[in-house]
Structure 1
Amino acid sequence: MNDGGDIVRRLYESPPDGFVAARTAAVAEARRAGDVAAARHLAALKKPTVAAWIVNLVALQRPELLDELAGIADALRAAQRDLQGDQMRELSLHRRRFVTSLVEAARRLAVEAGTPGAKLPLAEVEATFTAALAEPEIAGQIRSGRLIRAVSYAGFGEVPRPRLRLLTGLSPAPALPPAPSLVRDETAQRRRELEREMTAAEDAEKRADLRVTRAEQAERDAEHLVEDLEAELAELDRRRAEAVADVARRRLGRRTAEREAATARRAVGEAQAALDDLSGHQ
């Protein structure tokens, strides 16, 4: 039997529509080899959703892309800690562009594996990679290459900008026009307020999109569960049919043995009768 890690990798690298059948075959092979622990481990593996499978392809076949994603995440967290607004905006733009390219790379891997590109849940794939930027634990799950469902992170957003307030003192003399520096300050403050409003609106849009994604994912998870149960029922039906056939064979064998025993008893009786008859004539 091959190394267990190779088998698990093949299971999570192959399209999920064949996962249950491949897992069943791997479990049967482990049992034939007498490896009870491996059989139990393989039987416990869960079928991934299509989105999770696509993410697994990147983790298993293009791990260097996840290294770059981790580097961007570290830089974003550092900029947030230091409240470096300009750097944060630049990194955010780079983050969006990289995630877009990462999703495209994932799409190509899935298409190369034989899945039509038009049917791929790329929004869930993007949400998962975006969640990895915000949460190291999610990034670790992705790196394992054994993700079973897409994930999302509703709390991800741009770096919070400091709240600024103008300190007011005495009212300026009405005859004096506002100083140019004050106009610039008010313009800058208004720009920051608008930027905060835009960021809040973008975050609200992301959260709404993620709620839709989670609802769609829940529906797909339920569908996959039905598929798994149907596959397990089919396997049980197959094993039941084999057991019924085995009972029939054994019943036929018993009846054959009974007929042979009856024939043997008749032969014994006939031989005994012949001996008795021979003894009577002596």
Structure 2
Amino acid sequence: MLHADDVTQRLYEAPPDGFVAARAEAIAAARQAGDREAAKRLAALKKPTVAAWVVNLVALRRPELIEELVELATALRAAQRELRGDELRELSTQRRQFVSSLVAAARKLAVGAGAGAAKLPLGEVEATFTAALAEPEIAEQVRTGRLIRAVSHSGFGEVPRPRLRLVTDSPDEPSAAPGRPSAAPDHPSAAPDHSEADQRRREQAQRIERRRRELERDLNAATAAERRADRQLERAEDAEREAGHLVEDLDAELAELERRRTEAVADVARRKAARRTAEREAAEARRRVGDVQAALDDLHR
């Protein structure tokens, strides 16, 4: 039997419609070889969706593409953190082009493995690669080649906090340093007007700051709610998938039991026929014994 890791790779490379049967065969082989630990590990493997299988093909057969994906994702996050606009735009263009090339490579591999091109969920495949570019954890999952479902990402990368600046009425007029009084005006009579304008600007800045904080709180609350909803959806999907795997396993067990029952019924029929033959032979033997005994009795008379 192959090593458990080799068997696992073979299972996730093969089209998912044959996953359950191949897994059952691998488990049986491991048990026959006396490798209970390998059998346990194989039994825990989950059947991938078609989209996840397509992504796994790229990770397993073209790992250099996934390494390029990780490098590009790192560069994108660095550009976002440092607010390098020109570089970020260039990298974003590269991201779109690279994801398209990944999807094309995935499609080619899947078709080469026997999948029908028209039925491939390439939208889910693209969403998974895009999510891997945005989230290091997802990229690591993709890199293993053992993804069991497609994933998506609502945003992209790290979002830096916006930098606010105060827009004054006169763009050439320098703003006063914080905590310092403004320089005295040349014309005392104009001071009240400047003070009133400064007051309006301060009030406007305060309103902007309050609004920014409110929006940040709303964003944090919405993000937390989204994460809770995603976790709940993931748990529901996992539960559904577990139930599906259980049904698949039970179906496989039922099929095996039905096969064994059919063999047992046939064996019972063979044994019944043999018993009837033996009964006929025994009756014939008893009849012959009776005939010979009768002949002997006639000789003694």
TM-score bracket, shorter-length normalisation = 0.5 to 0.7
Q: Distance in 2 between matches of 1:241 and 1:14?
A: 26
Task: Tell me if the contact between 2:57 and 2:109 (Cα under 8 Å) persists in the aligned partners.
Answer: yes
For residues 167-182 of structure 1, the aligned pairs below 5 Å read 167-168=167-168
Q: Distance in 2 between matches of 1:3 and 1:157?
A: 38
Q: Distance in 2 between matches of 1:87 and 1:75?
A: 9
Task: Tell me if the contact between 1:73 and 1:134 (Cα under 8 Å) persists in the aligned partners.
Answer: yes
**Residue matched to 1:98:** 98
Q: Distance in 2 between matches of 1:14 and 1:240?
A: 27
Unaligned 5+ residue runs, structure 1? Answer: 173-177, 182-206, 272-280
For residues 1-282 of structure 1, the aligned pairs below 5 Å read 1-156=1-156, 159-160=159-160, 162-168=162-168, 225=244, 229=247, 232-243=250-261, 245-246=263-264, 249=267, 253=271
Q: Distance in 2 between matches of 1:75 and 1:230?
A: 43
Deviations along 1:229-263, whole A, 9 cap, x unmatched? 357415413323413532663586489679969x9
Task: Tell me if the contact between 2:135 and 2:157 (Cα under 8 Å) persists in the aligned partners.
Answer: no
**Aligned-pair CA distance for 1:128:** 0.8
SS in 2 for 1:111: helix
Number of equivalenced pairs: 240
Q: Distance in 2 between matches of 1:23 and 1:97?
A: 37
Task: Tell me if the contact between 2:27 and 2:39 (Cα under 8 Å) persists in the aligned partners.
Answer: yes
SS in 1 for 2:162: coil
Kindly provide the amino acid, as one letter, of the partner of residue 48 in structure 1: P
Unaligned 5+ residue runs, structure 2? Answer: 174-225, 290-299
TM-score normalised by length of structure 1: 0.67
Kindly provide the amino acid, as one letter, of the partner of residue 73 in structure 1: A
Q: Distance in 2 between matches of 1:38 and 1:229?
A: 22
**Aligned-pair CA distance for 1:15:** 1.0
Kindly provide the amino acid, as one letter, of the partner of residue 257 in structure 2: R
Task: Tell me if the contact between 2:81 and 2:158 (Cα under 8 Å) persists in the aligned partners.
Answer: no
TM-score normalised by length of structure 2: 0.63
Q: Distance in 1 between matches of 2:101 and 2:17?
A: 26
The two structures, once aligned, show a CA RMSD in angstroms of 3.9
Q: Distance in 2 between matches of 1:72 and 1:130?
A: 11
Kindly provide the amino acid, as one letter, of the partner of residue 233 in structure 1: D
Q: Distance in 2 between matches of 1:35 and 1:151?
A: 34
SS in 2 for 1:29: helix
**Aligned-pair CA distance for 1:143:** 0.9
**Residue matched to 1:204:** none
**Aligned-pair CA distance for 1:159:** 4.7
Task: Tell me if the contact between 1:92 and 1:158 (Cα under 8 Å) persists in the aligned partners.
Answer: no
Deviations along 1:169-208, whole A, 9 cap, x unmatched? xxx7xxxxx8899xxxxxxxxxxxxxxxxxxxxxxxxx9x
